[in-house]
């Protein structure tokens, strides 16, 4: 294989790697965008739940209407509600944290792909220069 043929083969290989890397960057961008949308939606749901929780917690209950069995039944339902809301909010906050971690991980991955692409572009420029030199000889 001649030197010029080898340089063209390497150039072709670098161009293929660049295309693969660009595709990886695009796929990572899509993942980041989907995660950001999910984070936005879950944050909105979390805010809505906090709002409902505040409105329920601010209810003024007339103690004279809630005595005996009705009071016990109400207390049971209210305690169940409090436990359910706390659990739900905790799970939502955990999910938000996980999504933020995933976004950070994918942004780091994208930076790595971008760095690789920059390196490949430098290699391509070098190969093009080497090919021009070879063609002159």
Query: What pLDDT sits at residue 78?
Result: 82
Percent of the chain with pLDDT over 70: 95
Q: Is there a domain that residue 63 lies in?
A: no
**Tell me: the pLDDT tens digits for 75-103?**
788 888 888 888 988 999 999 999 999 99
Is the pLDDT higher at 82 or at 32?
32
Q: Is there a domain that residue 109 lies in?
A: yes
Give the chain as a DSSP string. Answer: --HHHHHHHHHHHHHHHHHHHHHHHHHHHHHHHHHHHHHHHHHHHHHHHHHHHHHHHT----GGG--THHHHHHHHHHHHHHHHHHHHHHHHHHHHHHHHHHHHHHHHHHHHHHHHHHHHHHHHHHHHHHHHHHHH-
Query: What pLDDT sits at residue 65?
Result: 64
Q: Is there a domain that residue 30 lies in?
A: yes
Q: Is there a domain that residue 24 lies in?
A: yes
Answer yes or no: is pLDDT of 12 > 90: yes
Which structural domain, as residue segments, surrounds residue 29?
Answer: 3-50+83-136
Q: Is there a domain that residue 20 lies in?
A: yes
Q: Is there a domain that residue 66 lies in?
A: no
Percent of the chain with pLDDT over 90: 64
Per-residue pLDDT band for 126 (boundaries 50, 70, 90) equals very high
Answer yes or no: is pLDDT of 13 > 90: yes
Answer yes or no: is pLDDT of 7 > 80: yes
């Amino acid at each position: 294989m001649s030197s010029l043929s080898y340089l063209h083969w390497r150039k072709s290989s670098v161009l293929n790697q660049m295309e693969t890397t660009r595709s990886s960057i695009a796929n990572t961008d899509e993942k980041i965008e989907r995660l950001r949308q999910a984070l936005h939606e879950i944050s909105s749901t979390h805010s809505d739940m906090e709002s409902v929780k505040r409105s329920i917690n601010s209810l003024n209950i007339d103690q004279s209407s809630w005595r005996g069995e009705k009071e016990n039944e109400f207390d049971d339902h209210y305690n169940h509600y409090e436990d359910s809301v706390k659990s739900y909010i905790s799970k939502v906050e955990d999910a938000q944290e996980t999504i933020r971690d995933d976004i950070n991980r994918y942004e780091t991955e994208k930076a790595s792909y971008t760095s690789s692409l920059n390196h490949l572009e430098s290699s391509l420029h070098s190969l093009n220069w080497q090919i021009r030199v070879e063609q002159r000889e």
